[in-house]
Amino acid sequence: MTEYDYIIIGAGSAGCIVAARLTEDPSISVLLVEAGGSDRNPIIAMPAALPFAYQSKALGWGYQSGPEPHLGGRTIDEKRGRVIGGSSSINAMIYNRGNPLDFEGWAERGLREWDYAHCLPYFRRMETFSGGADDWRGSDGPMRINRCEARHKLYDAFLRGGEQAGFSITPDHNGFRQEGLHVAQSFIHDGLRWSSARGYLHPARARPNLTVLTRSLVKKVIIENGAAVGIELTDGRHSQKINCAREVVLCAGAFNTPQILMLSGVGDAGELKALGIEVKADVPEVGRNLENHPGVNVQYASRYEDSLVSELNLFGKAKLGLEWLLRRRGLGATNFFETGAFLRTRDEFAFPNMQYEFLPLTRFVRDGKLIAIPGFQFWMDLSRPESRGTVKLRSADPAAHPSIVFNHLSTRNDLRDLVEGVKLARRLVAQPAWDGFRGEELSPGPAVQSDADLESFVRTNVGTSYHPAGTCRMGGDSEAVVDGDGKVKAILRMRIVDASIMPRIVTANLSAAIMMMAEKLSDSILGKRALAPSGAAFFRSLPPEGASTTRSA
């Protein structure tokens, strides 16, 4: 076909959902275009193989940010999936929705239909939760969400240590209360990674009104008379133009969506002209407002027999693979991130400003290979950073990687909060629950004690959680790129449905929130009445009287 009703660019966390929902109407024709290839790959399907999925050059874009001006000019690897399922096919499968205050904050920015009450019904619609349905959780959605078993003794030490440090364990951090320590939940079911492709796209592939093109790079959206009328794509050898009768929907993510917009002539007019690109709309905010979750690892040694590494020797790896192949069970069916926490480092915050993901082993990369040693570690990141970055074109070549600069630690508050996060991790491990397990601190190390030394450690070691967002932000103000329905304000017949439209990053991993947004905006595209808002309550942590709340939104 040379024309479709809807053309969706990007078969990732959002694109698979939009394609599946639109094609439920047999009268609608949909083309889904993906730059990568098939997701039928064992290292995608096996949860424990996620480090190999992360490292695979065949499954990722190979992006790097930087040089980062506040990190001594360092570059940072930024994993993004280039495959059916997008980043949901290579990520850590951690299911965290975000804090209800995230969505309340969106509503305060002129997006009244994006408060928690309006988002919660779509979270419930997308999921089947192993813990069963209630006011907060769903039981018949395409995405299978399971509570982790967390049987290893170091998971228990993490939870008990948190309690001894004065924090609570929340029974469902995706329910009434996010804040506290928790047993994690994951996009894993029957021992398989449950990506948006597996949940939504695979069941829809047999529909005659859905066409999926893989290994096809979109060069630009064709814009005529202020409206999107099609796309131009290439398979590396030949270019092709395909017409669109209704809308072009960009679901390419926080890096590629602004890149495609700018290649299509939508962006900062001066920058586009300098690259010889015809300006279709002067929208300076395209590619700006880039956010991520910056973080560092805090690592400890332990006895070999106390760490999960003891189960990953040569015999253990063979057992892992065989048990997973034959029964889809055992360590092959876990992502290893089976406990975590959302905590506040200071009472002035109205939200948990720090996220911790715990691993009962210590691992690092040496010569491009992942090495695991006896120990345990916390990956901790900053939930609501103040720093903002940009995505810009390097050239008018669609195959060239864009320039990505996060500007991590450009504000003093971000650096201070990460330092306090390290101190809090140390406080957790200092509790009696860790006696007998706690070995030498490997990172930052016992010699790193002063604030100045901790700041140096953070600047030298900070990475990201691979959660880019905000580069085509949604908002009620005139400078926002899209409106509350995902429609590009400057161009007709064009929408964006992905993390790039988040007006502020959420206090969590991004996959769940992106999928919720895709469910919600699919109804908008189809002209359906939105689901009725929920009346379910949520936990609010009010700061002490007189404390600053300027950073709560």
Give tens-digit pLDDT for 479-538.
Answer: 999 999 999 999 999 999 999 999 999 999 999 999 999 999 999 999 999 999 999 999
How far apart, in Å, are the Cα atoms of 310 and each of 145, 197, 302, 512? 28, 34, 11, 33
CB 84 within 8 A of CB 493: no
pLDDT band at residue 364 under the 50/70/90 scheme: confident
Handedness of CA 149, 153, 155, 158 (dihedral sign): positive
CB 32 within 8 A of CB 216: no
For residue 544, is it within any domain? no
Mean pLDDT of 160-168: 97
- 314: CB partners within 8 A, 6+ apart: none
For residue 333, is it within any domain? yes
First to last CA, the chain: 47
Give pLDDT, residue 552.
37
- In percent, the amount of the chain with pLDDT more than 90 equals 93
336 DSSP assignment: S
Give pLDDT, residue 313.
87
Residue 546 pLDDT > 60: no
Q: For position 287, which CATH number holds?
A: 3.50.50.60
* Degrees, nearest 5: CA angle 493-494-497: 140
For residue 11, is it within any domain? yes
Q: Of 391, 392, 400, 396, which is closest to residue 275 (Cα–Cα)?
A: 396
Mean pLDDT of 359-383: 87
Question: At residue 104, what is the residue type?
Answer: E
118, 189, 408, 467: the catalytic one is: 467
Give pLDDT, residue 542.
65
Give pLDDT, residue 541.
79
CB 93 within 8 A of CB 69: no
Residue 367 pLDDT > 90: no
Residue 370 pLDDT > 80: no
- 516: CB partners within 8 A, 6+ apart: 97, 119, 122, 123, 126
Print the domain residue range for 151. 3-526
- In percent, the amount of the chain with pLDDT more than 70 equals 98
Radius of gyration of the chain (CA): 23
521 C-beta neighbours (distance < 10 Å), count: 28
pLDDT band at residue 547 under the 50/70/90 scheme: very low
For residue 552, is it within any domain? no
Give pLDDT, residue 18.
98
Give me the count of residues in the chain: 553
pLDDT tens profile 174-195: 999 999 999 999 999 999 999 9
Q: Is 467 a catalytic residue?
A: yes
Give pLDDT, residue 146.
98
Between 443 and 367, residue with greater pLDDT: 443
Q: How many domains does the chain have?
A: 1
Query: According to the 3-state scheme, what is the secondary structure of 227-283?
Result: EEEEEEEECCCCEEEEEEEEEEEECCHHHHHHHHHHHCCEECHHHHHHCCCCCCEEC
Mean pLDDT of 368-394: 93
pLDDT tens profile 271-292: 999 999 999 999 999 999 999 9
For residue 27, is it within any domain? yes
In whole angstroms, what separates CA 271 from the centre of its chain?
Answer: 29
Q: To the nearest whole number, what is the mean pLDDT of the chain?
A: 95
pLDDT band at residue 545 under the 50/70/90 scheme: very low
* Exposed / middle / buried, residue 282 (Cβ in 10 Å: 0-12, 13-18, 19+): middle
pLDDT band at residue 551 under the 50/70/90 scheme: very low
pLDDT tens profile 399-417: 999 999 999 999 999 999 9
Residue 550 pLDDT > 70: no
pLDDT band at residue 371 under the 50/70/90 scheme: confident
In whole angstroms, what separates CA 391 from the centre of its chain?
Answer: 17
Among 256-260, 292-296, 348-352, the least confident range: 348-352
